[in-house]
Amino acid sequence: MRSRSPGVRWSLIPGRCCQENEPNNQTHNHYNTMSNALEEPVNQELIDLIDSKFREFREGSILKGTILEIRPQVVIVDIGYKSEGAIAANEFEDDDIEVGDEVEVLLEKLENDEGMVVLSKEKAAHKQNWEKIVKVFHDGGLVRGKVKAAVKGGLTVNVGVEAFLPGSQIDIIPPKDLNEYIGKVFEFKIVKVNDDRKNVVLSRREVIEAERSEQRQRFLVNVVAGNKVIGTVKNITDFGAFVDLEGMDGLLHITDMSWGRISHPSEMLHIGQAIEVLILEVDREKERVSLGLKQTSENPWADIEARFPIGTRVKGKITKLLPYGAFCEIEKGVEGLVHVSELSWVKRITRPSDVLSLGQEVEAVVLGISIDEQKISLGVRQLEVNPWDEIESRFPIGTSVKGPVRNLTAYGAFVELEEGIDGMIHVSDMSWTRKVNHPSEVLKKNDEVEAVVLAIDKVNQRVSLGIKQTEDDPWSLIDGRFKVGDIVKGKVAKIASFGAFISLEGDIDGLIHISQLSEDHVEKVKDVIKVNDEVEARVIKVDKVERRIGLSIKALSYSEDQLKKESASFESLRPSSEMVGLEHAFNLASSAVEEWSPSEEN
């Protein structure tokens, strides 16, 4: 500890004023001198000096000191006391100091265990700054501070004292990374001060909002519809984007972003992007501004019909694939739709993605334009000749054709005539003599069949075929083959509740009505005959028009007169009652076949 060269220190013991380093034998004399001085006029200047020194060295007071020495760990400071004070070097880390500089310090303790004065530069600054902070808080002013660190829930900021900045008060838009603010200097508003705990809560958001409010008012005063302004994309939603215009948020609706079709604003914009927009509408009372982006460029739909007349070939890029079609951009802001049905004349394309891909360059033909709806219909198949235009010349009606059975349905079979072109054979055109309920009774998938072209429908792109037409109609010569009174033989093909169908020579069926099975009353057909039984019967009716032959077992031994009477009675059985034409026979029989079980048959 360094000694004072003048050697003068004042003892502040009442009634005593002496130099502490004088010899003890002189103390009494000075005491007497001081005592005698009480009766003499007092040296006021000396008393003031003593009082000022007494006040200066009170613990907790702020003093001025001089830097005597700068060491690696501490800085030695002289405050005019009998010993120097040591201050941790890290309290000066933000300051450029030299020996001899004057600093303000807080006297924490006059003497520690080592006999040194305990000082703090930071605490002195904190005490002074706290008073300033409290004053600024009450005055509603702003403070500048440097962000020190990220902590739970926000940031710590040095504004002369350590303060807390909640995460919600950092910015208008909550930050994603708090660390990006560390080391930066900002202005803050003091929103809360706790004098007891020495806590300070700040808000940067209120400062920004106040600035934006002023900017917004200036913006609203000067802006008018039709102005072009530059803004920054602040937020993106499903219906549009909010753009920051000098503190004013403007809405850019999705319909005002592009002359073309977009599904979401994010396809064109991203947060933080600077864009030039047009002021469409200003509502100063509600402080709302509507913006347009597409309006900053010419409307490509204005003269679309002149630039892309119907029938024109165009080139474009596939921008979107949907189940019903593909969107093709033929120029910036103009897209056309290629419907799935317009992709091929003959290929069966279920989804556009089966033949197209995103970004693919394609050529198409303009089929239609709707300016009001801003839609263009495109076709790809129109680039080729429609094979249906010449279908009649390739497959004239009456021509015999061959092809594989491609598919079976409940009403017919589809036969492939050439790639992409099928003809259909209806079940009614599969047999002259049989009632075909389902095409699978006659055909199988992939069977090679021969058929005749019956009709062509170019509009609906249909070709009708027939199998039975490849042969002569056996009913056309039926008069020469079967006459009333003839005795014929055949096999029971099917049994119904009203009779039995007999398969005759030449793939012709005849019907034995239940009344013609026996002279006796027959309750059930199967009581008399069964399927596959060989039977002999007599022809009692031939109807070429309705394609039916009536047979009778009981009339086998009838005379001509009896046969005429039986034939007449059989004639009275019309399809509306129990007798049916062969064209309906199997259909009715399938629903009228008598039930049976193995036990009954046994």
Domain extents for the chain?
223-296, 304-383, 387-470, 474-598
Which pLDDT score is estimated for 35? 42
54-100 pLDDT, tens digit each: 445 777 777 888 888 888 888 888 888 777 888 888 888 777 788 88
State which residues of the chain have pLDDT below 70.
1-56, 571-602
DSSP 3-state assignment of 61? coil
188-197 pLDDT, tens digit each: 999 998 878 7
Close Cβ partners of 60 (under 8 Å, ≥ 6 residues apart): 106, 107, 108
Which pLDDT score is estimated for 285? 82
Furthest CA-CA distance within the chain: 187
Return the CATH number of the domain spanning residue range 304-383. Answer: 2.40.50.140
- Residue 208 has phi, psi (to 5 degrees) of -65, -45
C-alpha span between 506 and 352 (Å, rounded): 52
- Written as one letter, the residue type at 502 is I
Which pLDDT score is estimated for 154? 92
In the structure, how many helices (H) and strands (E) does the chain have?
10, 30
Phi-psi region of 333 (alpha: psi -120 to 50; beta: other; left: phi over 0): left
Two tokens at 181? 């603010």
- H or E element that contains 500: strand 499-504
Are 369 and 378 a contacting pair, CB within 8 Å?
A: no
How far apart are the two ends of the chain, measured CA to CA in Å?
A: 135
227-274 pLDDT, tens digit each: 888 989 989 999 999 998 877 888 999 988 888 778 899 988 999 899
Return the CATH number of the domain spanning residue range 223-296. Answer: 2.40.50.140
**pTM for the complete prediction?**
0.42
CATH of 387-470, one of 2.40.128.50, 3.30.70.2190, 1.10.150.80, 2.40.50.140: 2.40.50.140
Rg (CA), the chain: 56
Which pLDDT score is estimated for 155? 93
Which pLDDT score is estimated for 12? 32
Same CATH fold assignment for domains 304-383 and 387-470: yes
Which pLDDT score is estimated for 412? 92
Are 411 and 561 a contacting pair, CB within 8 Å?
A: no
Report percent pLDDT > 90 for the chain: 24
Which pLDDT score is estimated for 465? 93
Return the CATH number of the domain spanning residue range 474-598. Answer: 2.40.50.140
How far is the CA of 407 from the CAs of 24, 269, 391, in angstroms? Answer: 134, 51, 21
